[in-house]
Structure 1
């Protein structure tokens, strides 16, 4: 067994487990939870349905990242990670992360504004946590963009090296 397989095989098992867990959450847990919330608290209006839509879309973004990561692992295993084919999968990860971040920023901005303009909800904890999550999400997206640029440089260097040899 190659050394890289010692990492790829367990990572793939974990990716499958996470994907299945997210699928169960997306199809069963989240709709049940938010419909229960809507029936228990009818005064909350459309908020449970907004949260359900947000949650399902966020989970979908994570699933896209898992599928793209799986394909990148296939490229690593076949020693083709430094090829143009890898960029489509890396771009898929970047765009899924961007979409997830934009959704998070939008929902967070909405809830922070609701909390700010509702005197009985003026607990600073929730806006601080939401702002922190948005900032961490931005760091993750920008880190992935840098990683893509590094992959581009490594691919160019490998191509140049192969041309020399």
Structure 2
């Protein structure tokens, strides 16, 4: 991965992380106020679980961004094909799986009552399935990383044997 690509991705991650902190600090309290004041009593009744789900969803995104940052650091140092990378990939997979569960939870919270159309709840469920699919993609990428680490270790072993012969 080129140096420019790493720098560009770090800039994007830093901006996204700053934006997510802004959303947590400013936008979510405004959303909470709006849910309690401007909508029907059905929505006001579920405003607390909705706000908690939104906040936890933002945390899953932040955790993922921090882990990707750490993986980028490993790429820059040339140590990404090591067992230390598995920790960050596992955390990303867990965070995405948690985001999927939170999405399904949002659908469950919004399903009762007449305030939210059934089609919207179905769309939220579909989004939860898509996020679960992303978690599965991360798991597949983890398996590919495991294969790459094994091949790298084998190549180092063969190189050591070759160095002994020479």
- Whether the TM-score (by the shorter chain) exceeds 0.5 is yes
Alignment partner, residue 22 of structure 1: 20
2-structure distance, mates of 1:9, 1:49 = 39
1:125 and 2:124 correspond: no
Cα gap change, 1:26/1:88 in structure 2, threshold over 3 Å: closer, same or farther?
Answer: same
After TM superposition, the score normalised by the length of structure 1 is 0.88
The within-5 A match list for 1:109-124 is 109-112=108-111, 114=112, 118=113, 120=114, 123-124=117-118
1-structure distance, mates of 2:107, 2:39 = 21
Gaps of 5+ in 1: none
Alignment partner, residue 146 of structure 2: 152
2-structure distance, mates of 1:40, 1:126 = 19
1:55 and 2:54 correspond: yes
Is this contact kept in 1: 2:110–2:116, CA < 8 A?
A: no
The within-5 A match list for 1:6-155 is 6-41=4-39, 43-44=41-42, 45-112=44-111, 114=112, 118=113, 120=114, 123-155=117-149
Gaps of 5+ in 2: 160-166
Q: Which has the larger radius of gyration?
A: 2
* 34-43 vs 99-108, which moves further: 34-43
Is this contact kept in 1: 2:103–2:125, CA < 8 A?
A: no
Deviations 1:29-78 (A, max 9, x none): 11122123213347234311111111110000000000000000000011
2-structure distance, mates of 1:139, 1:6 = 30
After TM superposition, the score normalised by the length of structure 2 is 0.88
The CA RMSD over aligned residues, in Å, is: 1.7
1-structure distance, mates of 2:122, 2:103 = 14
